[in-house]
Structure 1
């Protein structure tokens, strides 16, 4: 029989309370951790799990207006200017409600030369491929090597066909073409946006950035609106 089996819960709690009152802070903390660490850990884990589930459910309840990755970029400011550019400026441009989100990831670094491949870059490419395959990605912004890599596999829409006439007329001189290795067809996979204020306003540094719309995007209307927004149309 344990010391508490013949006592009521109320008596046990009162005894523990009195015992703690006689201890200094250091001893009190040690006693609480020594005798109650399992329920403390259990409570903390349960709370973390509940928060995680709530966050996942809350995130999934939001409609996504646009998903964009910006590859191989480097921030030039400690401020989150990219967040302001997309989640404030572009959000306002689209007239979105708080229940609609814009996903932008500018943390990914990828390379395509065998000598540069590491476990990290393989993991980043796998993540990127999963986003494209699952139709979760709408827009890719990156250097020439990124657009070439995915464009050669038919990864982008032909912007000569996808853009409205008024937008096409404004950006046609900035179109970037890539030849599909399988079909041999050369199409306008992207638009050079280095001449715009995109880099300045996002606080990102990318060599000759090119914007392309993913070929299986389910939100091409908003992707085209992003092009309008970037070029101030």
Structure 2
């Protein structure tokens, strides 16, 4: 049975130790408080570092049913920071990739649809998705669900001088305000009925600028999410995508 050492006993023992023996003695008796102190300092340093190194997002963008190479990926994120004269050390353009929405079960990306839908909805609800770049199938899905704003109206209010430049590339689509899809699932004898709204909610960005230079075979559409709090930056992003002379 080990007896507790008195203060005087510890002092006598300490005098008898030399070199590494003292280090081992300290570790044996104080390793737990030492560990707690080190953990405490680590948390402080990590928190301070995270605070000063965290970048502010100037725009959240997402690629839906669209894949890009590393060079175009960099152009869609860091390239825009240069164009907008933003400090890349403090600002960033988060670019969501690997998102797919398709009803085609033969599509190799069909298995990612459910997870992609959850991420997209969470990002929209959290106001962390401003601009989407997508193929026609995804454009139709976003349009029908009413996620996209009226681009013509947005530019009339915020950038009227730019409207005439992008007008040839505006694409109209249909938003479903309400329908009887739930009733149809219960009674197949009913005919489908819907209240819809039609307006310019997309831009074909594959016919000019960055995407044209990238040589996409299929059209790529851009939409701005309705609840985006960064529409001014989204408009500047469109200017960048249509620019023929990138920085």
* RMSD over aligned Cα atoms: 3.5
Check the 8 A contact 1:74/1:206 in 2, yes or no.
no
Corresponding position: 1:181 with 2:176 = yes
1:208 matched to which residue of 2?
219
1:228 counterpart residue number: 239
Q: Distance in 2 between matches of 1:151 and 1:56?
A: 38
**Change in 2 beyond 3 A, CA 1:83/1:180:** same
Specify the alignment match of 1:197 in structure 2: 209
State which structure, 1 or 2, has the greater radius of gyration over its C-alpha atoms: 2
Structure 1 residue ranges without an equivalent (≥5): 16-38
- Indicate yes or no: 2:102 matched with 1:112: yes
SS in 2 for 1:169: helix
Query: How far apart in 1 are the matches of 2:212 and 2:49?
Result: 33
- Residue matched to 2:8: none
In 1, Cα distance between the equivalents of 2:82 and 2:222? 21
Query: Aligned to 2:21, which of 1, 4, 11?
Result: 11
Query: 2:57 is paired with a residue of what secondary structure?
Result: strand
Decide which of 91, 110, 131 is 1:100's aligned counterpart.
Answer: 91
- Residues 74 and 85 (structure 1), Cα distance of their counterparts in 2 relative to 1, 3 Å cut: closer
Q: Structure 2 residue aligned with 1:159, among 142, 151, 172? A: 151
- Count the aligned residue pairs: 197
TM-score, normalised relative to structure 2: 0.66
Cα drift, residue 56 of structure 1: 5.4
Aligned to 2:61: 68
Structure 1 length as normaliser, TM-score?
0.70
After superposition, the Cα gap between the structure-2 partners of 1:75 and 1:118, relative to the gap in structure 1 and judged at 3 Å, is: closer
- Mapping for residues 128-147 of structure 1, pairs under 5 Å: 128-147=120-139
5+ residue gaps in structure 2?
A: 6-12, 26-31, 178-194
Distance 1:200 1:168, change over 3 A: closer
Q: Which residue of 2 aligns with 1:29?
A: none
Task: Specify whether residues 57 and 160 from structure 1 end up closer, same or farther in structure 2 by C-alpha distance, changes over 3 A only.
Answer: same
Q: For residues 136 and 219 of structure 2, what CA distance do their matches in structure 1 show?
A: 7
Identify if the C-alpha distance between structure 1 residues 94 and 52 changes in structure 2 by more than 3 Å, giving closer, same or farther. Answer: same
Report the CA distance between 1:114 and its aligned residue.
Answer: 6.3
User: What is the SS of the residue equivalent to 1:191?
Assistant: strand
Distance 1:197-1:232 versus aligned 2 partners, 3 A rule? closer
C-alpha displacement of 1:62: 3.2
